[in-house]
Amino acid sequence: MNTMSSLVEIDMSQNSLGGGQAIQYNLPTAKLERLNLAGNQFGGQIPYSIFSMNNLKYLNLNHNQLQGKMTDVFSNLGSLTTVDLSFNSLTGDLPEGLSSLSSVKTLYLQNNQLTGSINVLADLPLSDLNVANNRFTGWIPSQLKKINSLQTDGNSWTSGPAPPPPPFTAPPSNRRKSPAKKDSGSSSSDGKSGISGGAVAGIVISLLVVGAIIAFFVIKRKRKSKREEHFEQHQPFTSFPSNEVKDMKPYEESTTIDVDSLASPASVGLKPPAKIERNKSFDDDDDFSSKPVARKNNTKPIKAVVYSVADLQIATDSFSMDNLVGEGTFGRVYRSQFNDGKVLAVKKLDCTVIPFQSSEDFVELVSNISILHHPNLNELVGYCMEHGQHLLVYDFHRNGSLHDLLHLSDEYSKPLSWNSRIKIALGSARALELRNRVPGALPQRWT
């Protein structure tokens, strides 16, 4: 269908198409103004290709089987006037991209499982809004109460008047949501999985070391941003709150272990990652001078494959829930299978938790992760940064989580020998020793 570049309207509504499959990613985007796929049986998530439909004015995907978080495809759709995503199974908070719909008049989101606040909709020029029968919380913005047609029943709104905005509040278009709380591990303990009958799929990429690298990156970038503001405004430096690291959420994904590697005599002791330079503390007096701050480009060459969003969307069936194998503080992990039969794991980073300000920030993170090498650490295979999405690609391991290996026995996870269990205990002890012996190696709440 992507060869039909002159299409202006697609209307396939009320045909029971899809059969639970995702909407194909290669929709024509050049001149399309109206897309109506309502009343079908399409599953998966909202396709990324909608992001490139700059001329789109009408989007109707109601009464389908769409699920998972709302894909943030709206930031480039300034011409869109009507959006209908009602009667699906969409979850999570509303994406910030919705605040960019400068022409939208009608927005239907009713009968989904959306959560969080609707503040991102406050400044839209809406005349018809329906958010009924979701799981929204908080207050209804006063701007929205002036809409001619407003339906908000079936949510958990906070009663009473909304509190006044805090002083020096940033403009609404620059607001960022607070990171949504993630459920620890999407794979249930009863052993069921949509990927393979009875297997609890897991991957090694959720190891503590990778989580610590990401946390370190977030903290470092926040400090850098604060320092740049200091020099731009010529204000005295104010030290960071002492609880900045304390407020970081723990990494909650289940780690995985390659059983075969446990049989080898190789040491499983964790060592500090080499070649990662620690930033100079902001407490040093010499760190602040009258000289302007310049970004240093010390990123090493990355030996990893660059994937496109389209390729990963095909391989994960549009990031369908059937391919979801785990979820943690920094995002979700999906199983992906490519045309050549290769199976990989794709970690889709939640940009509300790690709000990258530029592509260089993400490349720096990828560079830091790519240099990590350890017998128990799954090395980075590739990455993707397109359409505002940031994804990491790893080898896929289906050996299950440590809990599964210690307590379960099925066709995919075999009982661990006593020697293997001793190795696991020793490796865990060495990791704890590293944390206590090297000050600041890992935040306290990450262990």
Mean pLDDT of 81-101: 93
348 marked as binding residue: yes
Instruction: State how far the alpha carbon of 163 is from the alpha carbons of 18, 124, 166, 168, in Å.
Output: 45, 21, 9, 15
Residue indicated by tokens 């204000």: 235
Q: Which two tokens stand for residue 423?
A: 């190795």
Task: Tell me what the mean pLDDT of segment 85-108 comes to.
Answer: 93
Domains in the chain, start-ordered, CATH in brackets? 1-164+172-178 (3.80.10.10), 204-446 (3.30.200.20)
Cβ atoms of residues 71 and 93 within 8 Å: no
pLDDT score recorded for residue 381: 87
H helices of 384-444, in order, are 402-407, 418-437
Please report which confidence band the pLDDT of residue 62 belongs to, taking 50, 70 and 90 as the band edges: very high
For residues 222 and 196, the model is more confident at: 222
pLDDT winner (highest mean) among 183-187, 280-284, 372-376, 430-434: 430-434
Query: Does residue 403 have a pLDDT over 90?
Result: no
Decide if pLDDT at 306 tops 50. Answer: yes
**Alpha-helix runs per DSSP H in 234-298:** 259-262
What are the CB-based long-range contacts (under 8 Å, 24+) for 431-434? 431/208, 431/270, 434/270, 434/271, 434/272
Residue 149: predicted pLDDT? 92
Answer whether 402's CB lies under 8 Å from 259's CB. Answer: no
pLDDT band at residue 388 using 50, 70 and 90 as cut-offs: confident
pLDDT tens for residues 174-215? 433 333 333 433 333 343 334 433 333 344 444 445 565 665
**SS3 letters across 51-104:** HHCCCCCEEECCCCCCEEECCCCCCCCCCCCEEECCCCEEEECCCHHHHHCCCC
pLDDT higher for 13 or 286? Answer: 13
Which pLDDT score is estimated for 273? 45
pLDDT at 88: 94
Give pLDDT, residue 398.
64
Check residue 375 and give its pLDDT. 66
Q: Where are the alpha helices (DSSP H) in 164-235?
A: 208-233
Q: Which two tokens stand for residue 340?
A: 């050549």
pLDDT, tens only, 112-121:
999 999 999 9
Spatial neighbors of 14 by CB under 8 A, at least 6 apart, are 38, 39, 40
Q: Rounded CA gap, 242 and 245, in Å?
A: 8
Query: Is 180 in contact with 93 (CB distance < 8 Å)?
Result: yes
Contact 74, 59 (CB under 8 A): no
Taking CA atoms, 39 is separated from 47, 244, 418, in Å, by: 17, 48, 56
Question: Which range, of 154-158, 184-188, 299-303, averages the lowest pLDDT?
Answer: 184-188
Residue carrying the six token digits 């949509």: 194
* Beta partners for residue 89, in sequence order: 67
- Record the pTM: 0.42
- What local confidence, expressed as pLDDT, does residue 97 receive? 87
At 385, the pLDDT band (50, 70, 90 cuts) reads confident
Read off φ and ψ for residue 51, nearest 5 degrees.
-55, -30
Q: What is the mean pLDDT of the chain?
A: 71
Between residues 102 and 247, which one has the greater pLDDT? 102
CB atoms within 10 A of CB 65: 17
Q: Tell me, what's the pLDDT at 222?
A: 57
Instruction: Decide if pLDDT at 447 tops 80.
Output: no
Phi, psi of 215 (to 5 degrees): -65, -45
Average pLDDT of the segment spanning 383-398: 84
pLDDT of residue 211: 61
* pLDDT score of 310: 87
In this predicted structure, the answer to whether residue 56 has a pLDDT above a threshold of 60 is yes
